[in-house]
């Protein structure tokens, strides 16, 4: 029986102790210092709101476990709060020059401890946000040779189509000025995208001196199977450290959305097999079509027109389902009398026989035709005309060669002795005599 009584007393004591512990309690809010515009080297204040949600009066003491560089101060470091009441304490910190940009949690925090209830203590977590001197100043998207500015947090839906090539340009700036003269080094731009948009990449900007700016580009294609209304998130981050070791970063988030026309036959390729030909040459125009509209199309047609060359051709009459592609060629031969120059070709696509959809202009360069030369008679002046080129040539009379005949007087001047038979006989005799002398000398002195 005594054991049972002792056990009951022990349980009762535990309940009483637990009740006592839970009878005294208070809560704190976390503290957010600064903002994304907050400069370093300044004091920043926040309110610490303390709520006594227990049933006993609390005597409290405030202290900081944050690094000393933050130089924490309190409007009051001790206070008493009645049960069910609350109190506000102003906490002021100094933003050091070494504070990294963006929102960062500071180690330690603001510690509030009860001096009349043993073991009762709470810590308020502290976060500091400071301005980044490295900024994403602008982001543009380029397609169809046009640049469009993207906005932070907005959706861009102006003309993006499935399969379309796009280029994203990110502009980065060092916002330190001449009074600071701080360089930001090892700058990197990182791009991430959602869905099937293949825009996950990074690139280095290098170093930027104060006030300088630079840009990097990223290219990809909108997925060819993207449907009307499909959208993609794009998140960009730029990071770097200044010459004092301070970390700087900025982020930029946006969204792009694909739109499809109800009916659209896009000319996705139009080019000549050779950009330059001569008159009389054979030319091939390579064309590619794609149904980028929302629906299947009947009676799709292509038209090729060059007014200057008197060309007008309608061809490729076929049906195209949504997202279908087709390749066609148009081959023709230039007339031999086509003048040198550049000639525009207008390519137009149609659906439902004659409903115009897309148009592109390509240019063919026709070079100068080759000039054929005609030989003119000796001693005369002649003119050769080929196409549009005229060549005038003048030839001079040639003095005929005179061949002397033995015993006759040459027609031009006297014959030389070295050309006579007598000279040849004397020359041979001299060579023989020299050889005999050489043999005699060899026998006498060598052998």
CB proximity list for 296: less than 8 A, separation 6 or greater: 319, 320, 321, 322
Tokens 């003269």, residue located: 181
Q: What is the DSSP letter of 281?
A: -
- Asked if residue 102 lies in contact with residue 87, where contact means CB atoms within 8 angstroms, the answer is no
What does residue 55 show for φ and ψ, rounded to 5 degrees?
-115, 20
Q: Residue 386: what pLDDT?
A: 42
The secondary structure element, H or E, covering residue 227 is: none
Helix (H, G, I), strand (E, B) or coil at 388: coil
Beta bridge partners of 329: 286
Structure tokens at 284: 């091939």
Structure tokens at 302: 């292509």
Structure tokens at 267: 């000319």
Q: Quick one: 265-367 is in which CATH superfamily?
A: Immunoglobulins (2.60.40.10)
CA dist 443 and 447 (Å) reads 5
**β-strands 31-34, 121-130 pairing:** parallel
Q: Quick one: 21-130 is in which CATH superfamily?
A: Immunoglobulins (2.60.40.10)
Question: In a structure prediction context, what are the per-residue pLDDT tens digits for the chain, which is 447 residues long?
Answer: 455 444 444 544 444 444 444 589 999 999 999 999 999 999 999 999 999 999 999 999 999 999 999 999 999 999 999 999 999 999 999 999 899 999 999 999 999 999 999 999 999 999 999 999 999 999 999 999 999 999 999 999 998 988 899 999 999 999 999 988 999 999 999 999 999 999 999 999 999 999 999 999 999 999 988 988 999 999 999 999 999 899 999 999 999 999 888 888 889 899 998 878 888 888 999 999 988 888 888 889 999 999 999 999 888 878 898 888 899 998 988 888 888 899 999 999 999 878 898 999 999 999 887 654 444 444 444 444 444 444 444 444 444 444 444 444 444 444 455 556 666 677 777 777 777 787 787 777 666
Dihedral (Cα; 52, 53, 57, 58), 10-degree rounding: -50
Structure tokens at 292: 């980028």
Please give the model's pTM, rounded to 2 decimal places: 0.61
- Asked if residue 33 lies in contact with residue 46, where contact means CB atoms within 8 angstroms, the answer is yes
Tokens 């861009």, residue located: 156
CA dist 337 and 298 (Å) reads 40
User: Could you give the residue range(s) of every CATH 2.60.40.10 domain in the chain?
Assistant: 21-130, 134-257, 265-367
How many degrees, rounded to 5, is the angle at CA 237 between CA 232 and CA 239? 170
CATH 3.40.50.1360 fits 134-257, yes or no: no
Tokens 């081959």, residue located: 331
Beta bridge partners of 231: 257
CA dist 154 and 140 (Å) reads 13
Count of other CB atoms within 10 angstroms of residue 11? 10
Helix (H, G, I), strand (E, B) or coil at 352: coil
- Asked if residue 52 lies in contact with residue 85, where contact means CB atoms within 8 angstroms, the answer is yes
Count of other CB atoms within 10 angstroms of residue 201? 15
Instruction: Give 138-174 as a 3 state SS string.
Output: EEEEEECCEEEEECCCCEECCCCCCCCEEEEEEEEEE
């Amino acid at each position: 029986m005594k054991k049972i009584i002792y056990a009951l007393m022990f349980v009762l004591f535990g309940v009483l102790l637990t009740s006592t512990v839970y009878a005294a309690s208070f809560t704190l809010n976390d503290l957010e210092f600064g903002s994304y515009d907050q400069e370093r080297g300044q004091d920043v204040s926040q309110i610490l709101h303390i709520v006594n949600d227990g049933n006993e009066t609390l005597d409290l003491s405030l202290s900081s476990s944050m690094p000393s560089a933050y130089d924490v101060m309190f409007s009051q470091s001790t206070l008493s709060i009645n049960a069910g009441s609350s109190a506000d304490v102003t906490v002021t910190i100094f933003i050091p020059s070494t504070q990294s940009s963006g929102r960062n949690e500071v180690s330690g925090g603001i510690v509030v401890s009860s001096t009349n209830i043993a073991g009762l203590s709470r810590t308020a977590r502290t976060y500091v946000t400071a301005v980044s001197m490295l900024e994403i100043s602008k982001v543009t998207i380029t397609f169809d040779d046009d640049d469009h500015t993207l906005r932070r947090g907005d959706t861009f839906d102006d003309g993006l189509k499935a399969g379309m090539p796009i280029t994203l340009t990110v502009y980065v700036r060092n916002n330190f000025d001449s009074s600071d003269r701080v360089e930001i080094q090892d700058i990197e731009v990182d791009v991430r995208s959602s869905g099937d948009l293949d825009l996950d990449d990074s690139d280095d900007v290098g170093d930027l001196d104060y006030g300088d700016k630079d840009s990097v580009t990223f290219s990809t294609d909108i997925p060819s199977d993207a449907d009307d209304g499909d959208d993609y998130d794009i998140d960009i981050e730029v990071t770097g450290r200044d010459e004092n070791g301070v970390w700087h970063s900025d982020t930029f988030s946006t969204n792009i959305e694909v739109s499809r026309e109800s009916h659209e036959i896009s000319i996705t390729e139009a080019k000549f097999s050779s950009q330059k030909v001569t008159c009389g040459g054979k030319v091939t125009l390579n064309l590619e079509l794609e149904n980028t509209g929302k629906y299947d199309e009947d009676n799709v047609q292509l038209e090729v027109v060059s007014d200057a060359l008197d060309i007008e051709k309608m061809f490729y009459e076929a049906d195209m389902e949504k997202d279908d592609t087709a390749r066609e060629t148009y081959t023709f031969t230039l007339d031999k009398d086509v003048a040198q120059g550049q000639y525009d070709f207008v390519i137009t696509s149609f659906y439902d026989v004659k409903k115009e959809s897309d148009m592109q202009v390509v240019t063919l360069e026709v070079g100068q035709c080759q000039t054929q030369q005609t030989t003119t008679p000796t001693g005369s002046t002649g003119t050769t005309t080929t196409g549009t080129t005229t060549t005038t040539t003048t030839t001079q009379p040639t003095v005929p060669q005179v061949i002397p005949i033995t015993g006759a007087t040459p027609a031009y001047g006297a014959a030389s002795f070295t050309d006579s038979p007598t000279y040849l006989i004397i020359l041979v005799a001299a060579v023989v005599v020299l050889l005999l002398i050489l043999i005699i000398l060899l026998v006498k002195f060598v052998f």
